[in-house]
Structure 1
Amino acid sequence: MTASRDASGPPAAAERTAVPGLSASIGRTDVRGALAAIERADPELCAFLDIWHTEALARLPGAARLPLAGLPFTVKGPTGIGSYAARRLIAAGGVPVGSTSVPGPGTHWQTWGLGAHGRTVNPWRADRTPGGSSAGSAAAVAAELVELATGSDGAGSVRIPAAWCGVFGLKTTNGLLPSPDRSGLASAGVLARSAAHAHVYLRCVLDTYEPAVPKLPLRAVHSPDLGYADVDPEVETVVRGAVRRLAAAGVIRLVGGGCDLLDPAAAWQAVRSGEAAPSAGELRRENDRRLDALFDGVPLLLTPVTPNRPHGHEGPGELLSTALTWAFNLSGHPAASVPAGFTPDGCPVGLQLVARRGADASLLGMAAAAERVLTGVRP
């Protein structure tokens, strides 16, 4: 990987993260250590648009008295500091240390990022993209510069970079948190080192959040392609292996039947452009009907996050990396990406977990259970 967390010594007392009741793994990164690590790594990683040294250090005295006690985090893009999630994290004692890269101008594809030092690279494979559009957020978490980063997801913009950078990503139920997106497709999300770190995020941004511990095994449906996507065989192999491990560990009990949807591409594009196309509405309603029927019987749907591995910096060509994610922006369901393993050439692969609308806390609990089984898979 490109960079590692600063290990020069323990953080000062005023800079430790102290959130009662959370995993002991939370809060090992301090603000000064994060800033130093970012300075060292970013000329190569290119994950940041701006680094906020002065502002971050100025926030520390006040943040130390609040629940997050100075947890460093990053925000997506040049306007992320004004987002609802960023404001709530700051109010809880989080300290934003910089804004992260998003796609630059000049291409229609969004699975890349352009930082202040150049094109953002994938911490696992510098010749590959980290995904996008939350490119720098995913790269910064994967490089262990911060423990969580804000994102937004309108077609897979949290889940895709989470999958390709080997970190945890959560897209919340559409409408659960405020979003400036008028189409209704985008929802707030987070990229995090683990589901436990995403728990910190939800607890800060959602007043009604109550952690949920799932009863295992979970009844689950596995769909390798949602009935329409053309999935890379090596990606499919990694995901099938992860599903088998979850079943063998007693986390899930697979239910037959699969999940076949209509390809949502045309409907997503119509909604995004504001077109009132009757065919798009019909497709959306039919997919909603199928998903409602599925979630009447099981709490969990499993798919690959993307049909392809991370593409090179020249772009994805004709591939639609969003093929398996944007269905759930149309339907509004919460969805998460959990690291599932690696392709033979060392590219991370994500397992997508989808739950009923509004079941974000349950989804996070299910993801944590899956993560405990899948953690430690490395190339």
Structure 2
Amino acid sequence: MSAAVEGIASAVRGRRLRAVDVAAEALARIERTDPVLCAFAEVWGGEALRRAGEVDARVAAGEPLPLAGVPVAVKGRRGLRAAGPLLEAGCVAVGATSVPGPGTSWQTWGLGAHGRTVNPWRADRTPGGSSAGAAVAVAAGLVPLATGSDGAGSVRIPAAWCGVVGLKVTGGRLPSPDRTGLASPGVLTRTAADATAWWRVVSGRTGEAVAAPSFPVTAIWSPDLGFAAPAPGPVALARASVDRLVDAGVVRLTRPPVWPQPLLVDPAPAWLALRTPGADPADAHRVRAVNDRRLDALFARTGLLLTPTAPTAPHGHDGPGDVYSTALTWAFNVSGHPALSLPAGFGTDGCPAGLQLVAARGQEEVLLAVAREAERRGAVVRGPRA
């Protein structure tokens, strides 16, 4: 699968395409489809075309913009504040994507300008959240790149449920307004190569030669992290995805470390305590310390931890029921490890699922390299929109 971001940027830099025309096409796609998908809270038509004109002028002046003319959607109405490096690199912001509206404590949904955000594969299902519109905009091909933020799984869950790539970076590695330290910036794209292009810009590593890991990368598979109770469907899809990676020579499974307790301690009480003003953080720090020790031991002997991204298939718009959609993701917000959701195929309901890849802190390049290699070797199952 081709990398849309690099293709657009190369064509605009080479003046085979104008950024203004690329932006106009993206805006036309949004105008046609967003009344149904409800992926955008705001669309910045005139401003986007003005910014695109500035990109064309910068290219004509000889600026080597790594993301020249690439349309980007930013998460929420305040998302433009964090998009400075992307705009400086030549991206054109076309609008703000939907996030959850008021009135509910569950965050796996979105509210756009035209109504509730729908899953592009089944309109009666949620796309996940809270980066809801971002995942939908990318999955539906409205933009090749959308920013997100992930405090408990808010990038990875919608990536899984919409069938796209979603990366959460190491806690504290990039600026975040979250006072708890649980939320990290992230990105949603259709390919790992496109996510890599984003990462190189926001991490300041554009143009650097980065050493690739040796394949196969060692990995440990856990369907439940030792405490969750995921449904059979997402587990089966994620495990089938792991088997494809193994068969393609991308990963090699090893045994997990042996200790008498579960692989990790359930982080739910710790996460909730850290997010609740006035709560006693003592137990949260204890759980974090235990899991940090276990994860340090795990990554001392293997390159990756593999799990299903979400414990359930996408739920309806009336809510998730009693199962936390974050059960398999928020441990890595508490610990700060980088994690990526890779498309893992489709369930019997016609909705996508995801495989979560977790690496040691600071190892975003390993996650992206494994995902790129999986795509290159044909080990990633995608739907017709890809």
2:380 corresponds to 1:375: yes
C-alpha deviation, 1:289, in angstroms = 0.4
C-alpha deviation, 1:199, in angstroms = 1.1
Gaps of 5+ in 2: 1-6, 14-18, 60-64
Paired with 2:211 and 2:136, the residues of 1 have a C-alpha distance of 29
2:106 corresponds to 1:115: no
C-alpha deviation, 1:47, in angstroms = 0.4
C-alpha deviation, 1:317, in angstroms = 1.1
- Size of the alignment, in residue pairs? 357
Letter in 2 for 1:317: G
- Structure 1 counterpart of 2:147, from 144, 150, 159: 150
* 1:4-19 → structure 2 map (5 Å cutoff): 16-18=8-10
Q: Give the corresponding residue for 1:344.
A: 348
Q: Give the corresponding residue for 2:225.
A: 226
RMSD, aligned CA: 1.9
Letter in 2 for 1:70: G
C-alpha deviation, 1:61, in angstroms = 2.4
SS in 1 for 2:10: coil
Q: Give the corresponding residue for 1:269.
A: 272
8 Å CA contact 1:68–1:94 kept in 2: the answer is yes
Q: Give the corresponding residue for 2:302.
A: 298
Paired with 2:109 and 2:186, the residues of 1 have a C-alpha distance of 18
Q: Give the corresponding residue for 1:129.
A: 126
Letter in 2 for 1:207: G
Paired with 2:296 and 2:140, the residues of 1 have a C-alpha distance of 38
Structure 1 segments, 4+ long, off by >4 Å, are none
8 Å CA contact 2:344–2:355 kept in 1: the answer is yes
C-alpha deviation, 1:208, in angstroms = 4.0
* 1:1-379 → structure 2 map (5 Å cutoff): 16-18=8-10, 30-64=22-56, 65=59, 66-83=65-82, 86-208=83-205, 210=208, 211-257=210-256, 260-274=263-277, 275-372=279-376, 373-378=378-383
8 Å CA contact 1:340–1:374 kept in 2: the answer is no
Q: TM-score, normalised by structure 1?
A: 0.91
Paired with 1:130 and 1:229, the residues of 2 have a C-alpha distance of 22
Q: Give the corresponding residue for 1:12.
A: none
C-alpha deviation, 1:70, in angstroms = 1.0
Paired with 1:341 and 1:348, the residues of 2 have a C-alpha distance of 6
Q: Give the corresponding residue for 1:4.
A: none
8 Å CA contact 2:100–2:111 kept in 1: the answer is yes
C-alpha deviation, 1:248, in angstroms = 1.1
8 Å CA contact 2:308–2:355 kept in 1: the answer is yes
SS in 1 for 2:342: strand
CA 277–68 in structure 1, closer or farther in 2 if over 3 Å, else same: closer
SS in 1 for 2:9: coil
8 Å CA contact 2:163–2:353 kept in 1: the answer is yes
8 Å CA contact 2:48–2:93 kept in 1: the answer is yes
Paired with 1:374 and 1:75, the residues of 2 have a C-alpha distance of 29
Which digits, 9 at most, give the CA deviation of each residue in 1:185-237, with x for residues without a partner? 00000001111111111111111465442211111000000001111101111
Paired with 1:151 and 1:278, the residues of 2 have a C-alpha distance of 30
Which digits, 9 at most, give the CA deviation of each residue in 1:237-280, with x for residues without a partner? 11111111111111111001277111100000111114333222
Gaps of 5+ in 1: 1-14, 22-26
Paired with 1:16 and 1:219, the residues of 2 have a C-alpha distance of 34
Letter in 2 for 1:229: A
Paired with 2:68 and 2:256, the residues of 1 have a C-alpha distance of 47
Q: TM-score, normalised by structure 2?
A: 0.89
Paired with 1:67 and 1:283, the residues of 2 have a C-alpha distance of 42
Paired with 1:217 and 1:112, the residues of 2 have a C-alpha distance of 37
Segment of structure 1 superposing worse, 285-294 or 273-282: 273-282
8 Å CA contact 2:288–2:335 kept in 1: the answer is yes
Paired with 2:68 and 2:371, the residues of 1 have a C-alpha distance of 26
8 Å CA contact 2:12–2:69 kept in 1: the answer is no
CA 376–282 in structure 1, closer or farther in 2 if over 3 Å, else same: closer
CA 304–198 in structure 1, closer or farther in 2 if over 3 Å, else same: same
C-alpha deviation, 1:16, in angstroms = 4.5
Letter in 1 for 2:235: E
SS in 2 for 1:368: helix
Letter in 2 for 1:57: L
Letter in 1 for 2:302: V
Paired with 2:281 and 2:68, the residues of 1 have a C-alpha distance of 50
Paired with 2:37 and 2:12, the residues of 1 have a C-alpha distance of 33
SS in 2 for 1:260: coil
8 Å CA contact 1:212–1:362 kept in 2: the answer is no
Which digits, 9 at most, give the CA deviation of each residue in 1:112-155, with x for residues without a partner? 00000000000011110000000000000000000010000000
Letter in 1 for 2:290: E
C-alpha deviation, 1:161, in angstroms = 0.3
C-alpha deviation, 1:175, in angstroms = 0.6
Q: Give the corresponding residue for 2:62.
A: none
8 Å CA contact 1:19–1:67 kept in 2: the answer is no
SS in 2 for 1:37: helix
CA 376–307 in structure 1, closer or farther in 2 if over 3 Å, else same: closer
